Structure 1
Amino acid sequence: MPAARPAHFVAACLTLALTSAWAQTSSLPITADQRRVAEQVASAGVPLSELAPNAPDSHTVKAGDTLWDISGLFLKSPWRWPELWGMNRDQIRNPHLIYPGQVLVLVKSDGRARLQFGQRVGGGPGDTVKLSPQMRISALDGNPIPTIPLHLIQPFLTDAVVFDTNVLATAPRIVAAQEGHVLMGRGDLAYARGDFAGATDFRIFRNARELRDPATKEILGYEAPYVGTADLIRAGEDRKSADGKTTEIVPATLQIKLARQEVGVGDRLAPAPQRNLDRYVPHAPDRAMAGQVVSIYGEALNAGQNQIVALNRGKRDGVERGHVFALWRDGERVTDKTGNRPEAIKLPDERHGVLFVFEVYERVSYALIISVKEPVKPGDRFTQP
C-alpha cells in the first residue's frame, strides 16, 4: 500500500487536475507560474475561523445549486471560495467544474480547511453513507453549476448599458416605419440612416441619460434605456435621378428581432457586443476601495435584493467583474439628551448588504444586490468586504 498523502498534497493535485482540465477545454496554455500560484493557494486553504458556524462535513451538489450558495454553506464570506477550493480565479475562467451529484468534502488540518471532491462509498437510500477524498475527476451528465444565479443578471447584460461618451447622439437612427406605422414590434421592418460601420446585428436604445457622481457631479457615463434588437437586411444608398441632377436618399432596412418595448422613430442603434459569462468569479478587491451608488436601474427610487445598481467606480479605479463589495447604511444623526446639555451625535455606520459586480465600464459599473437589510438608494456607500 502506498503511503498516505497529506491533505495539502491532495488539494494541490486536485487543483492541477482542474487546471489541466480547463486548459484542455480552453486551448490557453497554463504557465509554470500559474501552476505555482494554484499549488500555493491549494496548500493554504482558509483559517478555521473563516468557516461558517454550522459548516457541514460534506455536501452533495444538486440541480439549482450555485458556487455562491455552496460557498455560503462552508464560509462566513462566500467570496473567499478560491482559497477554500484552492483555485486560481485569474487563470481558471470556469473554475468550478462541479456537476449535480458530485460530493464535496470539507477537510480540516493544521488549523486550516480545504474543500475536496469525494465519492459515495456503498449505501442505498436510508443507509449510512461514507465519504472518502479522491483526486480523479470524471465528467457527469448535465452542465456544471454556475457561480451565481445567472438568470438574475443575464437580462441586464443586454438591457443595462453605459456608454463612456454620448455616442448615441451621432449613432444610426430609425427614421421611418413600414406602411406609415409609428411604433414597431418583433418582425416589423424599420428604416434607418447613419454609419453602420459594417455591422449587421444591432441593439436599439432610447436617448441616453447622464450618470453623475453623487459627490463630484462628474459625468461618469451615459445610460441608455434598452428597447430591443434588429438585424440589418439591406444597406441604404444614395441614388441619382435619371437625369443625374438630383440625389434620392434610400435608408437602410432592418428587421426588428426582439422588442422589449415598442420601437419608435428616433430610436438609436449600436452594434451588439459579444458577452462572456464564464468570468463571473466572486472575489474581494486586492486593495482598499470605496464609492457610492449612483442610481437604481429602472424607475425605482430604492432597491432591494436581486435588483441592479450603478456604482461610481469603474475600470480606471481598479473595479473588476466579480468584485464583491459591502453596502453601508449611514448612521443616524440624533440628539444625546443624557448629559448636562443636549448634544448632536452621529451613530456608527452599519454594514447591511453585499454587492456583486457583473459589468464594468471605464468610470462606472453595474452590481447585483446579493443581500440587503435596508432599501438601497442613490448616494449609499460601499467598500471592500
Structure 2
Amino acid sequence: MMAITSVQRTAVGALTIVAAALACTPAMAQKYPITDAQRSTAQQVSEKGIPVSELAPNAPDTYVVKRGDTLWDISKMYLKSPWRWPELWGMNLKALPNPHLIFPGQTLYLDKTDGYAKLRTTSTAGGSDTVRLSPRTRNDSVASLALPTLKTHLIAPFLVEPLVVDAATIEKAPRLVATPDQRVLMATGDRVYARSTEGGPKLSTQAGQPRSYRIFRDAIALKDPVTGEVLGYEARYLGNAELARSETTEETSDGKGNFKQEPVPATVDITANKEEIRAGDRMLPEPARGFKNYIPHEPQTNVNARVVSIYGSSPIAMAGQHQVVAINMGSAQGMEPGHVLTLLTQGDRVKDATADGNRDTIKLPSEHNGLAMVFLTFERVSYALLLEVRTGVRVGDRLVNPQ
C-alpha cells in the first residue's frame, strides 16, 4: 500500500496528468479543462468560503469519498445549486488545486465559521489527509482513480456517436459498396469494400492517412425550432470499421486487345456495429478517442436555447432522464462541456373554457422541468444529458441559465 498526503497531492496531481497522457492508451486518456472564470471564482471564494445558507440542508460535516462517487454527486451533497462546483472547489484552493484530484478514500471536512463555510481535506484539528491506494499497473495511474463528473456508463457511448457535419462532408464521404459474397446486411467481423466519392478523400493505408472509421447513415437536418434554419446534419451512427487495403485501379482486358483501368475498392473490416450496416452507408474518419471529463459550472453568458431533437435511432415524442438531446447553441455561441442548464417546459396553449362568449387561446407559463449538462459541442449544435427531469422533454423546450 502507498499513501498520498494532501500536501503531496498537488505535486502528484501534476505528474499523474502527464503520466496518464504518456502511459494510457488513447481510449483511456483524460482531459481536465479548467476555465479562467472557474479559477477566478475559486480564488475569490477560497478567501472566505460561501454563506452557510448556500449549503444543502443535510451537507455532512465529514464525508469519506467512495468508489463510484462523482463530482456531481458530491456537489449535490454539499450545495443547493450543484452547478456551483467551482465555489465548492474554491473552499480549499490549496488542497484542491484540481477538482478532479479527489480520490476514493479521501475525507472531506466541512468547516463552518462566522456564517461562512469551507470544504477542507484536513480537519481543523490539524494533521494531514491520507489516501490509501493499492499498487497499480502503469496504465492504471493515480489520475485514473480521480472522480469522474458523471457516471461513465451514462455518457460514454454518446461521446463517440453523435456527429454533426455539413451536407458537403456527408456527400463526399466514402461509401460501402459490396461484400465478398454479395450479402445485403453487414455486421461485426464482416469484410466489406468501400469507395471514395469524386472530390472526396481517398481511402489509403499510407502513413499519416486515417485507418479507423465510423459508419453512418441518414444525415438528418437539424432545424432550429424557432427560425427553421438548418444548423447542421446529424449522421446516424451505425458502427466502426478498420481500413485493411487501399483503393486502387487495375488494368483489365476486354479479350479483344483493348485495355482499360478499372477502379478496385478499398477493403474494410467491420470491427463493431450498433445497427445493421448496408451498402451505401458512409464512412468518416474516427476522431481521437478519450473520455472527456469536465467540471459542472454555470455559463458566463445568457443562454436561451431550444431542444432541436431527441437523440436516438427511433423517433420519440418525449425524452426522459438520462437521455440525450441536441440544442440550438454550439461552440460559436459560447457553449462548452460542463455547462449546466435549466430545462423549461414550453407551456401548453389551451382554450379558456371558463370565459363567456369567445374562448380565447391562452399560453400556460413555462415551468422548471429539471437540469441538463452539455457534454459535446459542435459549431452551432450541442448535445446535453438530461440529469433531472420532472416531465417529458419535447423538441422546442427551452434551456436557460441554471435557476
Alignment TM class, shorter chain as reference: 0.7 to 0.9
Q: CA deviation at 1:305?
A: 0.3
CA separation of 1:259 and 1:112: change in aligned 2, threshold 3 A? same
Corresponding position: 1:262 with 2:269: no
Q: CA deviation at 1:249?
A: 1.4
CA separation of 1:173 and 1:284: change in aligned 2, threshold 3 A? same
TM-score (norm 1): 0.83
Other-structure match for 2:161 = 159
Provide the rounded CA distance (Å) in 2 between the counterparts of 1:74 and 1:284.
17
| Cα shift readout 1:208-260 (whole Å, capped 9, x = no counterpart) | 11000000111111111111001001111112236673012110001110011
Q: How many residue pairs get matched? A: 356
| Cα shift readout 1:308-331 (whole Å, capped 9, x = no counterpart) | 000000011100011000001134
Q: CA deviation at 1:341?
A: 9.8
CA separation of 1:50 and 1:35: change in aligned 2, threshold 3 A? closer
Corresponding position: 1:229 with 2:222: no
Corresponding position: 1:324 with 2:331: no
Percent of aligned pairs with the same residue? 46
CA separation of 1:39 and 1:137: change in aligned 2, threshold 3 A? farther
Other-structure match for 1:144 = 146
CA separation of 1:165 and 1:86: change in aligned 2, threshold 3 A? farther
Return the letter of the residue paired with 2:334. G
Runs of 5+ unmatched residues, structure 2: 22-35, 137-144, 197-201
CA separation of 1:377 and 1:340: change in aligned 2, threshold 3 A? closer
Other-structure match for 1:123 = none
Q: CA deviation at 1:63?
A: 2.0
Provide the rounded CA distance (Å) in 1 between the counterparts of 2:38 and 2:362.
53
Q: Do 1:82 and 1:88's aligned partners in 2 also have CA atoms closer than 8 Å?
A: no
Other-structure match for 2:371 = 354
1:82 pairs, out of 71, 86, 92, with 86
CA separation of 1:214 and 1:41: change in aligned 2, threshold 3 A? same
Provide the rounded CA distance (Å) in 1 between the counterparts of 2:269 and 2:166.
28
Q: Do 1:117 and 1:134's aligned partners in 2 also have CA atoms closer than 8 Å?
A: no
CA separation of 1:36 and 1:171: change in aligned 2, threshold 3 A? closer
What SS does the aligned partner of 2:232 have?
strand
What SS does the aligned partner of 1:199 have?
coil
Provide the rounded CA distance (Å) in 2 between the counterparts of 1:81 and 1:176.
52
Provide the rounded CA distance (Å) in 2 between the counterparts of 1:362 and 1:158.
17
1:169 pairs, out of 168, 171, 182, with 171
Other-structure match for 1:188 = 190
RMSD value over aligned CA atoms?
3.2
Q: CA deviation at 1:262?
A: 1.5
Corresponding position: 1:307 with 2:300: no
Q: Do 2:103 and 2:131's aligned partners in 1 also have CA atoms closer than 8 Å?
A: no
Q: Do 1:177 and 1:183's aligned partners in 2 also have CA atoms closer than 8 Å?
A: no
**Paired residues for 1:32-43 under 5 Å:** 37=40, 39-43=43-47
Provide the rounded CA distance (Å) in 2 between the counterparts of 1:115 and 1:275.
34
Higher RCO by CA contacts (8 Å cutoff, separation 6 or greater): 2
Q: CA deviation at 1:39?
A: 4.2
Other-structure match for 2:54 = 50
What SS does the aligned partner of 1:65 have?
coil
What SS does the aligned partner of 2:15 have?
helix
Q: Do 1:164 and 1:363's aligned partners in 2 also have CA atoms closer than 8 Å?
A: no
TM-score (norm 2): 0.79
Corresponding position: 1:64 with 2:75: no
2:296 pairs, out of 282, 286, 289, with 282
Provide the rounded CA distance (Å) in 2 between the counterparts of 1:133 and 1:156.
44
Q: CA deviation at 1:53?
A: 1.3
Other-structure match for 1:7 = none
Other-structure match for 1:220 = 231
Return the letter of the residue paired with 2:302. A
